[in-house]
């Protein structure tokens, strides 16, 4: 058993989904903080029921920690902020940004995916996929361009990326424990793509257009429409300046 800081690393060669394996561990785990990793993942999944294509050489992991479910929205931003900071440590020259609610972009291409689920015994499971060595191509499920760290000249491996992520998460988690969501939100917004610009949000049914005015204390997207602010809990953002409104 390997450890990074206080996190137990439970490594597999091949699994269907690291989130599914992690959930089994939450029934009776000996570790308050643990991460399930796999070299290969055959049935990865992303947000809103989408598939996550798992290419060998990329990082597939599920991070498990106990958290009251009332703070689930905070965890979304803790995880994505920490992932953003970890990726910046490898690619400081790239234009790295966060796309609400939890995508990390380099030069407007998606590098990672995050899926939070509830485990047993108060555990939160943060499923994370990071394109380290390669990105999928010709995927009809893609709604945003994708890339890998290697596409931007980053020479690293899954273990180093995992270490960088855990170190960033531990710092942000300690900050959140001391001061709550406010400083996490402030840090997240510094990286937010499209802040104070016009965006289109594709919803399950229809679209909403407005100015990206920030996020609420519960992580909802704040969309300014005239003199009103609409809160959006789930949707896909596109940026009018990139002509993505019909995707």
Question: What is the pLDDT at residue 55?
Answer: 78
Selection from 209, 206, 215 nearest residue 188 by Cα? 215
Q: Name residues whose C-beta falls within 8 Å of residue 59's C-beta, 6 or more positions apart in sequence.
A: 37, 128, 129, 130, 132, 158, 161, 162
pTM for the predicted model, two decimal places: 0.90
Backbone angles phi, psi at 133, to 5 degrees: -105, -20
Report the CATH number at residue 221: 2.30.30.100
Per-residue pLDDT tens digits for 152-204: 999 999 999 999 999 999 999 999 999 999 999 999 999 999 999 999 999 98
How, if at all, do strands 96-99 and 123-130 pair? unpaired
Question: What is the pLDDT at residue 1?
Answer: 79
Hey, CA dihedral for 243, 245, 246, 247, is it positive or negative? positive
Question: What is the pLDDT at residue 243?
Answer: 54
Indicate whether 181 and 238 sit together in one domain. Answer: no
pLDDT of residue 229 exceeding 90, the answer is yes
Backbone angles phi, psi at 226, to 5 degrees: 65, -125
Question: What is the pLDDT at residue 204?
Answer: 85
Indicate whether 172 and 225 sit together in one domain. Answer: no
Spatial separation of the C-alpha atoms in residues 246 and 14, rounded to whole Å: 38
pLDDT of residue 99 exceeding 60, the answer is yes
Indicate whether 112 and 214 sit together in one domain. Answer: no
Spatial separation of the C-alpha atoms in residues 196 and 214, rounded to whole Å: 8
| pLDDT tier for residue 240 given thresholds of 50, 70 and 90 | confident
Chain mean pLDDT for the chain: 89
Indicate whether 153 and 215 sit together in one domain. Answer: no
Indicate whether 53 and 82 sit together in one domain. Answer: yes
Residue 176 lies in a domain: yes
Say which residue the tokens 């809103």 belong to: 48
Number of domains in the chain: 2
Work out the average pLDDT over 13-20. Answer: 92
Spatial separation of the C-alpha atoms in residues 187 and 212, rounded to whole Å: 16
| pLDDT tier for residue 238 given thresholds of 50, 70 and 90 | very high
Residue 247 lies in a domain: no
Q: In terms of residue numbers, what domain contains 88?
A: 2-190
Indicate whether 118 and 55 sit together in one domain. Answer: yes
Work out the average pLDDT over 209-238. Answer: 95
pLDDT of residue 48 exceeding 70, the answer is no
Spatial separation of the C-alpha atoms in residues 83 and 69, rounded to whole Å: 21
């Amino acid at each position: 058993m390997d450890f990074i800081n206080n996190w137990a690393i439970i490594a597999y060669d091949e699994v269907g989904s690291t989130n599914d394996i992690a959930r089994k561990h939450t029934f009776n785990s000996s570790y308050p903080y643990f991460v399930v990793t796999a070299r290969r993942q055959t049935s990865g999944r992303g947000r809103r029921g989408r598939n996550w294509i798992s290419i060998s050489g990329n990082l597939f992991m599920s991070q498990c920690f106990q958290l009251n479910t009332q703070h689930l929205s905070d965890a979304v931003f803790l995880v994505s902020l920490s992932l953003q900071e970890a990726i910046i440590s490898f690619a400081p020259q790239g234009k790295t940004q966060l796309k609400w609610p939890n995508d990390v972009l380099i030069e407007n291409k998606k590098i990672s995916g995050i899926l939070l689920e509830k485990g047993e015994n108060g555990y939160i499971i943060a499923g994370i996929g990071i394109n380290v060595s390669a990105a999928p191509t010709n995927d009809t499920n893609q709604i945003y361009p994708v890339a890998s760290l290697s596409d931007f000249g980053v020479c690293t491996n899954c273990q180093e990326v995992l270490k960088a992520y855990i170190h960033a998460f531990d710092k942000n988690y300690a900050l959140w424990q001391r001061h709550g969501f406010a400083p996490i939100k402030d840090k997240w917004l510094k990286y937010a793509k499209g802040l104070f610009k016009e965006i289109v949000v594709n919803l399950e049914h229809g679209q909403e257009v407005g100015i990206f005015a920030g996020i609420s204390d519960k992580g909802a997207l704040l969309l300014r429409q005239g003199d009103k602010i609409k809160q959006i809990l789930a949707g896909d953002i596109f940026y009018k300046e990139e002509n993505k409104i019909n995707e």
